[in-house]
C-alpha cells in the first residue's frame, strides 16, 4: 500500500472515529435530557399564607363569682343548661343585705324630710315658743338684777312658817307613836323619818329666804345672761330663712343617704348571679349551703353557638397579617374538613415563650355543621396575599447560586441552560417569576443522578462504557 493510500485510510478512520464520538455525545445528551424532570412555566393564581396553630374558644365565655363572701343559698341551674340573658343562676343568703336596704331607705326618707323642713321654714308655733323662752330668760335676768320683791319676801316667809308647822306636826305625831305601847317598831321608824324629812324642808325654806336677801353672784348673772342670749339666737334663727350653708348641709345629707342606699342595693345585687348573655352553663364550682369566698369561681357560662380560634403567629410573620384577611382552619378532631375564617383582631403586645416572640390573632370561624367544642386544637392558614394570572413555577425549580442570585434551569433545543430570574410571591408549593422566564418554557425540577466516572469519561473508555 503506497503512502497516498495510507493517508486516505487514515483520514477516513479519523472521520469515522470523530463521527462515533459525536454520535456517542449526542446519545448521552439525549439520554441526559430525557432523565430530567421538567415542568412548563404557566400562568395561574398564587396564594401566600401564614401558618399558625391555636385553640378553638367560645365567642363569649365568662366566669361568674361573688365579690363578697357568704353562704350559697341556692343554685338554680345545672351543668349543660341553656339560659337566657338576665336569668338568675345562683344567690347567697341575702336576709341581712335586705335588712340593710330597708335601713338605708328609712335613713334617706329621714334626710329628705329634714331637708323639706328646712326649705319650708319654722311654723308659727315654733316662733311663739322661741319668743316665750326669750321673755322667760329676760325675766330671770331682771329678777336677779333688781332683787326680790315684797311679794317674794312674803312668800319666802310663808314657806318657812309652813315648813316649821309641818315639822311640829311630825314631832307631835312621833311622840304620840312612841308613847303608845302598842305601836310597832315600823310605825315608830316611819314617824322618825317623817320628822327628819320635815326638818330638811325647814332648812331648805330658810336657805331660800336667806338667798332672796343675798346679792346675786357674778356666776348667777353670767348664767342668766347666757340663757337669754341663747334664747334670742334661737328666735333669730327661726325668724330668718334657711341660710345657704344650712341648705347645702341638708342637701349633702340627703345625697349621702341616697348613696348609702345605692350601695346597700348594690351589695344585695352582687349576692345574686345573673346570666349576662344567652348561653350554656359549662361548669358549677359550689353547692348550696357551702361558704363561698369572694372571688371564687361559682358558674362558668359560655356561648356555644359561635366560636373563634385564638392563634399564635410568630413575630417573623406577624407583619404580613392584617385584620380582615381570610383564613383556612383545620381541626385535629376533623382533619379531613376545612373551615373558613377571617382575621378579626391582632393583639398589639406580643408574648415571649422560651425566647420566641408570638402574637395572639383572633380568627372568627364562619358557620359550620361541625360540632365544635371549646379548646379543640386548630391549625390555621391565613391568606396574606393573592395574585391572579401570574407566571409561576414549582418551588423545586428555583435555585440560588453562591452569590445569592436566583436562577432556573431551562431545557431549550435539547440543552439545559441556566437562566437568572427575579422572583415575586411564594406559597408553600409555587413561586412567582417576575423576569427571566416566558410562559411555556420547560424548567427543570429534578436532575438525574449520574455516575461521576461516566460524567468525566470519554468515548475511549475513560470511566465510560465500552463501545
* Cell numbers given for 361: 390573632
Rounded distance, CA 77 to CA 299, Å? 9
What does the pLDDT read at residue 18? 58
Q: What is the percent of the chain where pLDDT is above 70?
A: 88
For the cut 80, the answer to whether the pLDDT of residue 11 exceeds it is no
Query: How confident is the model over 73-92, as pLDDT tens digits?
Result: 999 999 999 999 999 999 99
pLDDT band of residue 461 (cuts 50, 70, 90) is very low
The burial of 275, by beta-carbon neighbours within 10 Å (0-12 exposed, 13-18 middle, 19 or more buried), is given as: buried
Q: Please, what sign has the CA dihedral across residues 440, 443, 448, 450?
A: positive
What does the pLDDT read at residue 7? 45
E strands along 259-401, which residues? 272-274, 279-284, 291-292, 297-302, 307-314, 326-331, 334-346, 351-353, 356-365, 377-394, 399-400
Q: Give percent helix, percent strand, percent coil of the chain, each to the nearest 5.
A: 45, 30, 25
Mean pLDDT, rounded, for 384-408: 92
Structural contact between residues 443 and 37, judged by C-beta atoms closer than 8 angstroms: no
- State the DSSP string of 21-87: HHHHHHHHHHHHHHHSEEEE-EEEEEEEEEEEEEEEEESSEEEEE-SS-EEEEEE---TT-EE-TT-
Structural contact between residues 53 and 317, judged by C-beta atoms closer than 8 angstroms: no
What does the pLDDT read at residue 453? 42
For the cut 70, the answer to whether the pLDDT of residue 392 exceeds it is yes
Rounded distance, CA 164 to CA 6, Å? 194
What does the pLDDT read at residue 30? 47
pLDDT band of residue 34 (cuts 50, 70, 90) is low
pLDDT band of residue 367 (cuts 50, 70, 90) is confident
The burial of 264, by beta-carbon neighbours within 10 Å (0-12 exposed, 13-18 middle, 19 or more buried), is given as: buried
For the cut 50, the answer to whether the pLDDT of residue 460 exceeds it is no
Mean pLDDT, rounded, for 134-140: 87
Domains delineated in the chain: 46-59+306-446 (2.40.30.170), 67-93+271-301 (2.40.50.100), 107-252 (no CATH)
Write down the mean pLDDT value for the chain: 85
* Nearest 10 degrees: Cα torsion 60, 66, 72, 76: -30
What does the pLDDT read at residue 377? 94
Query: How confident is the model over 177-232, as pLDDT tens digits?
Result: 888 888 888 888 898 999 999 999 999 988 888 777 777 777 878 898 899 899 88
pLDDT band of residue 466 (cuts 50, 70, 90) is very low
If DSSP codes are grouped into helix, strand and coil, which group holds residue 289?
A: coil
DSSP 377: E
pLDDT band of residue 251 (cuts 50, 70, 90) is very high
* pTM for this entry: 0.51
Of 232 and 103, the structure prediction assigns the larger pLDDT to 103
For the cut 80, the answer to whether the pLDDT of residue 349 exceeds it is yes
**How, if at all, do strands 279-284 and 351-353 pair?**
unpaired
What does the pLDDT read at residue 463? 38
* Nearest 10 degrees: Cα torsion 458, 460, 466, 467: 110
Of 20 and 69, the structure prediction assigns the larger pLDDT to 69
Rounded distance, CA 148 to CA 154, Å? 10
Structural contact between residues 208 and 163, judged by C-beta atoms closer than 8 angstroms: no
Amino acid at each position: 500500500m503506497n503512502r497516498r493510500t495510507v493517508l486516505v485510510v487514515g483520514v477516513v478512520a479519523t472521520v469515522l472515529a470523530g463521527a462515533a464520538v459525536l454520535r456517542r455525545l449526542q446519545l448521552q445528551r439525549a439520554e441526559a435530557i430525557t432523565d430530567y424532570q421538567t415542568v412548563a412555566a404557566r400562568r395561574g393564581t398564587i396564594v401566600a399564607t401564614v401558618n399558625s396553630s391555636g385553640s378553638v374558644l367560645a365567642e363569649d365565655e365568662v366566669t361568674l363569682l361573688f365579690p363578697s363572701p357568704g353562704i350559697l343559698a341556692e343554685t338554680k341551674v345545672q351543668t349543660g343548661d341553656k339560659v337566657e340573658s338576665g336569668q338568675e343562676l345562683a344567690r347567697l343568703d341575702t336576709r341581712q343585705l335586705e335588712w340593710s336596704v330597708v335601713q338605708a331607705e328609712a335613713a334617706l326618707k329621714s334626710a329628705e324630710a329634714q331637708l323639706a323642713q328646712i326649705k319650708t321654714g319654722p311654723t308659727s308655733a315654733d316662733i311663739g315658743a322661741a319668743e316665750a323662752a326669750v321673755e322667760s330668760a329676760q325675766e330671770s335676768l331682771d329678777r336677779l338684777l333688781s332683787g326680790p320683791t315684797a311679794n317674794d319676801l312674803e312668800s319666802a316667809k310663808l314657806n318657812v312658817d309652813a315648813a316649821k308647822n309641818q315639822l311640829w306636826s311630825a314631832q307631835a305625831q312621833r311622840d304620840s307613836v312612841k308613847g303608845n305601847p302598842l305601836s310597832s317598831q315600823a310605825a315608830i321608824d316611819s314617824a322618825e323619818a317623817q320628822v327628819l324629812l320635815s326638818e330638811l324642808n325647814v332648812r331648805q325654806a330658810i336657805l331660800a329666804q336667806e338667798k332672796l336677801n343675798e346679792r346675786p353672784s357674778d356666776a348667777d348673772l353670767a348664767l342668766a345672761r347666757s340663757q337669754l342670749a341663747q334664747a334670742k339666737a334661737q328666735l333669730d334663727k327661726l325668724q330668718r330663712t334657711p341660710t345657704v350653708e344650712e341648705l347645702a348641709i341638708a342637701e349633702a345629707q340627703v345625697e349621702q343617704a341616697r348613696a348609702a342606699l345605692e350601695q346597700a342595693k348594690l351589695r344585695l345585687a352582687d349576692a345574686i348571679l345573673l346570666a349576662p348573655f344567652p348561653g350554656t352553663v359549662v361548669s358549677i364550682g359550689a353547692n348550696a349551703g357551702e361558704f363561698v369566698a369572694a372571688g371564687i369561681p361559682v358558674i362558668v357560662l359560655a356561648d356555644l353557638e359561635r366560636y373563634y380560634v385564638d392563634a399564635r403567629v410568630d413575630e417573623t410573620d406577624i407583619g404580613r397579617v392584617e385584620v380582615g384577611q381570610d383564613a383556612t382552619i383545620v381541626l385535629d378532631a376533623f382533619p379531613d374538613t376545612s373551615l373558613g375564617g377571617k382575621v378579626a383582631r391582632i393583639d398589639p403586645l406580643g408574648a415571649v415563650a422560651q425566647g420566641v416572640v408570638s402574637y395572639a390573632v383572633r380568627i372568627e370561624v364562619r358557620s359550620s355543621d361541625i360540632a365544635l367544642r371549646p379548646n379543640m386544637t386548630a391549625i390555621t392558614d391565613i391568606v396574606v396575599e393573592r395574585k391572579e394570572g401570574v407566571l409561576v413555577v414549582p418551588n423545586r425549580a428555583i435555585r440560588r447560586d453562591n452569590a445569592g442570585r436566583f436562577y432556573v434551569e431551562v431545557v431549550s433545543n435539547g440543552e439545559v441552560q441556566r437562566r437568572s430570574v427575579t422572583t415575586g410571591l411564594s406559597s408553600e408549593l409555587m413561586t412567582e417569576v417576575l423576569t427571566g422566564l416566558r410562559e411555556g418554557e420547560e424548567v427543570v425540577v429534578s436532575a438525574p443522578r449520574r455516575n461521576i466516572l461516566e460524567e468525566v469519561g470519554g468515548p475511549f473508555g475513560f470511566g465510560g462504557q465500552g463501545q
